[in-house]
Structure 1
Amino acid sequence: MDIRTVANPAAPYLARVFGIRDVVLTVLTASADEQDRRRLVQGLVVIDVCDVVSALISRRAGHLSEAGGRAATLAAVAALMPELGWLAANRDR
């Protein structure tokens, strides 16, 4: 994603911190009952929409290169699609 670690030495730390949160949220979602799963997936949608917005803002502000900003945006959108698909497929439950 071209997050410049020279200018941002905390970038690897932040990647690990957020990475473990994704793992924990995935495990919690997979093991939840239907009602809790729906709420967790809705929360994940909010998180990923915020990630899309953050990537766009960071690209505009120059914190990410053009290519890095596109990659970050696409990654956030890619994470969002299965969540929206699950909600659509399970809307009647």
Structure 2
Amino acid sequence: MEDINVNELKERLEKKDQFLFLDVREEWEYEDDNLGAKNIPLGDLPHQLDELEQYKNEEIIIHCRSGARSGNAKKFLESKGFSKVRNVLGGIMAYRDL
């Protein structure tokens, strides 16, 4: 699936669209700037994959600080059979600039 920009993310969050929103930053980063996503740090993702199994065919939108870690998380999840994964381009840094 195509990635998503912060404007589209903001719009989707405001409309309360249905998707799994995942934050792959470390816990301390998440606490500083939380958009309401489920927090699973990138390094923990392989060990917590079972928590996401129910979303395998659902839309998952992933963000991090700049878009790099979430891009890696997207590739990882796609390699595990998740079919509708989108990365937030620019991450929380771009979101703050809205």
**Fold conserved between structures, TM > 0.5:** no
Normalising by structure 1, report the TM-score. 0.29
Q: TM-score, normalised by structure 2?
A: 0.28
Structure number with the higher strand fraction is 2
Rg (Cα) greater in structure: 1
